[in-house]
Amino acid sequence: MKLVNLLIAFVLAVTASFAGGYVLHDRIGDISAAAETVTKVADQPTFPPASSMALPDFTEIVSSQGPAVVNISVSGKAKASNRDFPGLLPDSPFQEFFRRFRIPEPHDRIPIQGQGSGFIVSSDGAILTNAHVVADADEVLVRLTDKREFKAKVIGSDRLTDVALLKISARDLPTVKIGDSKKVRVGEWVLAIGSPFGFENSVTAGIVSAKSRTLPDEGYVPFMQTDVAINPGNSGGPLFNTSGEVIGINSQIYSRSGGYQGLSFAIPIDFAMDIEHQLLTKGKVSHGRLGVTIQEVNQALAESFGLDSPKGALVSAVEPESPAARAGIQSGDVIIKFNGRDIERSTDLPALVASTTPGSEAGLQVWRQGKLKELRITVGEMKHLSAKENSEEKSAIASNKLELVVRPLNAGEKANPEGRRGLMVEAVKEGPASRAGIQPGDIILAVNGIEVNEVEQLRKQVDNAGKNLALLILRGEQRMFVAIKIS
């Protein structure tokens, strides 16, 4: 009996030891799998849990840098326009009603008032803002956070980059800290201080959404895109990083309503400070030019030119006797680099060239007939248009009847055996012209048989044409008439 009991005890002990072994083996297997999982996870970037990610505290930036942000009020008179009635939105149904009962004469001038923002960059009263804030102003008034007011002198402005420099007679003023916009990273927090809708010293925050954005008719500025709430009155105000440094000037919004819709654009501060230096030292701004017409390289064009990927700026026309012509640039060249900087998109080139000192020498790398070619070019100086010329080149057709945006042909576009004249269609909005099939890139040669070479000529002919008109256009090398009915 004792022997049986001993045998039973022995069997139970062995069974327990094996069971324990199996359990231990299973646990080791679990630990090995867990270790492998940890190894794999360690290869990936780790992020702190959302609950532990605190939002930035902007209070110190506002208290230390806010006093250097100013409110700007402007007043003056502007030439009246037949197109829009003051005080009403351009697309208001009452615009046409008022046009019928009031047609201002060319010499009429209507009072204008506006508000914007700015920031002090030197303790003796130098202030940066947007050029469009002080455009056409007869008087500029600057109000500080301590309620002091000063009449400001416009030292200079550059419409091309939308930067203006003001000066007030004061000393020992608070100033902002200037940062480095080249170090800005997409996704980082930013802060805006300004006067939206006249509400002075309003603070809004967001993140940098993108860099080097190009906007229509604003191809010379590599804008920073943010989602900071910016509204009319914020223009010219500073954009700060979390170190309290100015990295940009809030300049524009993209909106269908006229108010903030999540897309705001700021001029990089490095770009703006170069303009400020030129205005301060020379009283004017010089911009470089090449004398080429360029377009984007898409996948199909890249394949046809033998490029390994869509990149660069494709030269579609070279202006005769221009710096580009003298340097040997040809139509069909793809500019890959300018002064050592890669041209990823065609929109990268204008900003780089415009910021280059006229008269300086620059290096170009171009793709020509399947090979890279190095060229040297002496950068020319961009012609500065007067306010009248500038507005005409970018204005819409009279009374918005056609809903077209046109401009005169440049010298490169005129360079052809026929001495081509006319107006280039830049954009087609919803309206009579779009319904008739007019497209961007079409060249308008004549209205009802009368040649048009200036925006004002086209505006006049359209206004005099009545309900029906015929446009003679050039599309590629084909001339055609397009009948348009004005509703």
Work out whether strand 163-167 and strand 177-178 pair parallel, antiparallel, or are unpaired: unpaired
Instruction: Determine the Cα–Cα distance for residues 161 and 266; give it in Å rounded to an integer.
Output: 11
Q: Which of 117, 157, 162, 202 is catalytic?
A: 162
Q: Which of 132, 212, 274, 355 is catalytic?
A: 132
**235 catalytic residue (yes or no):** yes
**286 catalytic residue (yes or no):** no
Instruction: Determine the Cα–Cα distance for residues 252 and 324; give it in Å rounded to an integer.
Output: 32
Supply 14's token pair: 């062995």
Q: Which among 107, 108, 347 has a CA at the least distance from the CA of 217? A: 347
71-95 burial, b at 16+ Cβ within 10 Å, e below that, comes to: bbbbebeeebebbbbeeeeeeeeeb
Instruction: Determine the Cα–Cα distance for residues 4 and 28; give it in Å rounded to an integer.
Output: 36
Cβ-based burial of 111 (10 A; exposed 0-12, middle 13-18, buried ≥19): exposed
**227 catalytic residue (yes or no):** no
Q: How far is CA 356 from CA 125, 217, 382, 463, in A?
A: 28, 20, 11, 42
CB 190 within 8 A of CB 247: yes
Q: Which among 396, 424, 486 has a CA at the least distance from the CA of 84? A: 396
Total count of residues recorded for the chain? 487
Q: Which of 73, 195, 235, 251 is catalytic?
A: 235
CB 208 within 8 A of CB 187: yes
Tell me the catalytic residues. Answer: 132, 162, 235
